[in-house]
Amino acid sequence: MIKFMQISKEIKTPFGRISPEVSLFPIYYLIFIYGFVYILPYGKNLIGISWFDWLRSEDGPLEWLQFFEYVLSALLASFIYLRRKKKKEINSFIWLLIALLSFVIAGEEISWGERLTGIGITTISDLNVQGETNFHNLPFFHNYLLDPVFEISCIFLGWFGWRKFKNIDAFPSKSLSLYFLFVALFYFYFDISWASTTEQIRNDQEIFEFLLSSGIFLHCMSNYRKQFMKPSNK
């Protein structure tokens, strides 16, 4: 499954063979979600909501998959950092940053355990837009910073990083570009809808954020394998 998500094989067409330089899994994934899951019947009869709404819901399957992917990414990035000999180099520092940020995002995804235990910090949840113990839904960050952070980060990870810093393996490779660029495109479209229409577009963040967490996980997994297959590190 992981190999399928990373590598795109040759595609046969009437005009010849095409060998993509990027993984096409994000395209297949979105076609599956919007072309199949979206129209699946009987969801409301069986679980009370459509299968599509179940997938993208708070505490739904996609959100929990993101949590596990970020936890694994934090562990893998930590192993990569610890195995490196030159820990003060920028490459090593970025791996450490990936580990820390992945851990923080995983914690934010489940409101630092509040969704599991029901125990939260009242001073934070009282200010929180969704009444939860997390920081990304505090009013200022949620209203003004959250979407630009997604957009800038995903453009950097999906294009600028591998293009401008080819010697830094801590940035995702070109092959994973679509995992990040589709997320940036969605959030640009999401923000434009707020500014240009009275009715907001479909709230499908979880569907696209799953691509982001998957891209980071695949990047960490790929580099973990490279690091631990070598007798020594950079």
Decide if 18 is inside a domain: no
Task: Compute the average pLDDT of residues 112-127.
Answer: 84
Q: Do the beta carbons of residue 161 and residue 172 sit within 8 Å?
A: yes
If one compares 142 and 173, the residue with the highest pLDDT of the two is 173
* pLDDT tens, residue by residue, 184-213: 999 998 888 766 654 555 678 999 999 999
Q: pLDDT averaged over the chain?
A: 87
Decide if 177 is inside a domain: yes
Please state, as a whole number, how many other Cβ atoms lie within 10 Å of the Cβ of residue 184.
Answer: 21
Distances 43 to 40, 153, 218 between C-alpha atoms, Å: 7, 35, 31
Cα separation, 234 vs 83, whole angstroms: 9
Decide if 134 is inside a domain: yes
What DSSP string describes 40-106?
-SSHHHHHSS-HHHHHHSTTSHHHHHHHHHHHHHHHHHHHHHHH-S-TTSHHHHHHHHHHHHHHHHH
Enclosing domain of residue 196: 58-229
Asked if residue 83 has pLDDT above 70, the reply is yes
Local confidence band at 103 (pLDDT 50, 70, 90 cut-offs): very high
If one counts the domains in the chain, the total is 1
What does the block give as tokens for 100? 């820390």
Decide if 234 is inside a domain: no
Decide if 24 is inside a domain: no
Decide if 53 is inside a domain: no
Decide if 189 is inside a domain: yes
Decide if 69 is inside a domain: yes
